[in-house]
Structure 1
Amino acid sequence: MTSGLEHLGVPVGPMVRVGGGYANRLYRLDTEQGSFAVKELNLADRRVTYHVDDVFRFERAAFAAGIPMPEPVSADRGVLVHRWVEGEKVPEAPVSEAFAFEIGEILARIHALDVEWTHGVADEPTAWDWAELAERARATGQPWADELASRVETFLAIARFVDGCERPGPVVLTHKDIQPWNLLAREGRPVLLDWELSGLLDLSGELGSTALSVAKGPGLDSIEPAVFRAVLDGYVAGGGTLPPSGPSWFVFMIGGWLGHTRWNILRCLAGVEASTGPDLALSQESALNGVRGLPALFERLPDLETLLP
């Protein structure tokens, strides 16, 4: 994949694939001009359209405004390049209140940027074919097939919630995917990675998804309310205004996870190692996590609303 990367300088070693990547594939390339993160976008079966020019313009504006993030270098239809940033991985566990507060401040600064966006809100169509997927999973011997079959009615209830939940607004141009695996800690402070899902989103959905993601562990048994609220306090301190409380704060997270689970289920049902996107083993892991975790998250929705102001 080094073809088309000549503008980055002469390589001083082979390009190395970096582990992880729930949707795309990431490599590190060291050249005479420095170190770069080269992301190969999965265009074969993306869930939503990627607006490369608009995202790159948004990233450039955010970087110029001092948002802590890797410098965006170049972007075309299939490859994104950023300066490599050294930092510590953020574990999937509650962060410190100070770290959460700063994430809230950063979000407020991002939402204050004046950047043209030529597309509407990119809502992924809600899937209703869970019974069919469960049958196909059993027919192909998927390890999570029985669990999916036993939860079909719950997945249909989740789909009804996603389709029917009212979003109060306002709509903001934002990152849309602030999760522990899209963050680094540099000298104890957050750095935002992976901006390619950026776009317009109801503010409550962005705040709820972000705050819950950094306030909990892999499950829902270790939610720290003080960390959740620290994100909101930071947002207000950064000049933002909180939207009304309600289930809309969590519908984006639930809907996004629903779509991500179905996408990985389909990759597992295909049963072949795709040439782009996550490896089949990672899709199996993501499918199982969704089949087990989404119903648990949905059932805890009343408890989650007690976190809201």
Structure 2
Amino acid sequence: MSLSQLGTPVGPMVRVHGGYANRMYRLDTDLGSFAIKELNLADRRWTYHVDDVFRFEQTAFAAGIPMPEPILYDDRTLVHRWVDGEKVPEAPVSAAYAFEVGEILARLHALDVEWPHDATEEPVARDWPELADRATTTGQPWAAELASHVETFEAIAQFVDTCERPGPVVLTHKDIQPWNLLARDGRPVLLDWELSGKLDLSGELGSTALSLAKGPGFDDVEPAIFRTVLDGYVAGGGTLPPPGPSWFVYLIGGWLGHTRWNLLRCLAGAEAQTGPDLQLSHEAVRNGVRGLPELFARLPHLETLLTRE
């Protein structure tokens, strides 16, 4: 992609570290500042519908959804206008912030955008015993922990594969987590739309509400913040689906696939030229090996968040 139409650079393009999927750079020119995202095409977990995602972003931006303005794209690169804001920590957000995220989701789901692809989730892998053996053989630092949780990971895979999704299916962002949000003047800005597509509504709401209502673990989940996201969704014109485990299956399944993908990158033993740094992949595997069994064990308790006391 030629970046010449972005203006004359006033300095070198600078790598912005920390991405868990792609690689990001900032480019400052005489026409402004831009986020240049280099897509990882080497070992993606899903098909990236770049044309449709960019069109969805343009529609959302035109409708006033708070997000970076989409500027350019090709099959390898995305360009957005740079947005300054505060990073959102992995901690319960304020009630006002949670409510507005819920409202934004309702507005997003109401957009009339043609999407020619069905709702799909990545196939559920069942090779956890083999992966644990390979991790042990290659001396991975988290191998022992993984081996001790193999049966749990098999049970998680079974749950993800068989849990009924009640619908409706909506076109949405699919990845509203603290690391994909900014706070600008205390209000939310939605980043990183690459996962956009159709998804069961309960999975989108459960994943979003839980991520905004908790810290790094699951000991400090604030039910009031969880419910406030849902209140915002209703206030924005949305209708809540029935309660049940489907509210959390997308979050669990996504984390399971993310852990396995990074695990395979670690087993390769060499840092890939695209996607996250090898150190970040090890961190992602450690977080998944420790966090997924805890999340799965707490599923019955999490379902109580869906009803008011």
Band of TM-score, shorter chain: over 0.9
2:253 corresponding residue in structure 1 = 255
Picking from 207, 221, 227, the partner of 1:209 is 207
**Deviation at residue 6 of structure 1 after TM alignment:** 1.5
Q: Measure the CA separation in 2 of the matches of 1:237 and 1:231.
A: 10
| 1:264 matched to 2:262 | yes
Q: What fraction of aligned residue pairs are identical, expressed as a percent?
A: 79
2:44 corresponding residue in structure 1 = 46
Say which SS state the counterpart of residue 305 (structure 2) adopts: coil
**Deviation at residue 32 of structure 1 after TM alignment:** 1.2
Q: How does 1:82-161 map to 2 (within 5 A)?
A: 82-161=80-159
1:192 corresponding residue in structure 2 = 190
Q: Measure the CA separation in 1 of the matches of 2:17 and 2:234.
A: 36
Say which SS state the counterpart of residue 307 (structure 1) adopts: helix
1:304 corresponding residue in structure 2 = 302
Q: How does 1:162-241 map to 2 (within 5 A)?
A: 162-241=160-239
- One-letter identity of the residue aligned with 2:98: A
TM-score normalized by the length of structure 2 = 0.99
**Deviation at residue 9 of structure 1 after TM alignment:** 1.3
Note the alpha carbon deviations across 1:96-154, whole angstroms, 9 max, x for none.
01100000000000000000001111210001000000000001000010110111100
Say which SS state the counterpart of residue 35 (structure 1) adopts: strand
Contact 1:48/1:122 (<8 A) preserved = no
Q: Measure the CA separation in 1 of the matches of 2:239 and 2:120.
A: 23
Contact 1:36/1:82 (<8 A) preserved = yes
**Deviation at residue 19 of structure 1 after TM alignment:** 1.7
- One-letter identity of the residue aligned with 1:103: V
Q: Measure the CA separation in 1 of the matches of 2:130 and 2:117.
A: 33
How many residue pairs are counted as aligned between the two chains? Answer: 307
Picking from 68, 71, 76, the partner of 1:70 is 68
Picking from 270, 273, 277, the partner of 2:271 is 273
- One-letter identity of the residue aligned with 1:74: L
- One-letter identity of the residue aligned with 2:147: A
**Deviation at residue 4 of structure 1 after TM alignment:** 1.9
Say which SS state the counterpart of residue 97 (structure 2) adopts: helix
Q: Measure the CA separation in 2 of the matches of 1:248 and 1:159.
A: 14
**Deviation at residue 302 of structure 1 after TM alignment:** 0.3
Contact 1:88/1:186 (<8 A) preserved = yes
Say which SS state the counterpart of residue 252 (structure 2) adopts: helix
Say which SS state the counterpart of residue 306 (structure 1) adopts: helix
Q: Measure the CA separation in 2 of the matches of 1:291 and 1:158.
A: 12
Q: Measure the CA separation in 2 of the matches of 1:199 and 1:148.
A: 31
**Deviation at residue 186 of structure 1 after TM alignment:** 0.4
**Deviation at residue 75 of structure 1 after TM alignment:** 1.2
What is the RMSD computed on CA atoms of the aligned residues?
0.6
Say which SS state the counterpart of residue 138 (structure 1) adopts: helix
Gaps in structure 1 of 5+ consecutive residues? none
Contact 1:95/1:215 (<8 A) preserved = yes
- One-letter identity of the residue aligned with 2:225: V
Picking from 58, 74, 99, the partner of 2:56 is 58
Q: Measure the CA separation in 2 of the matches of 1:270 and 1:154.
A: 24
Note the alpha carbon deviations across 1:252-288, whole angstroms, 9 max, x for none.
0000000000000000000101100000000000001
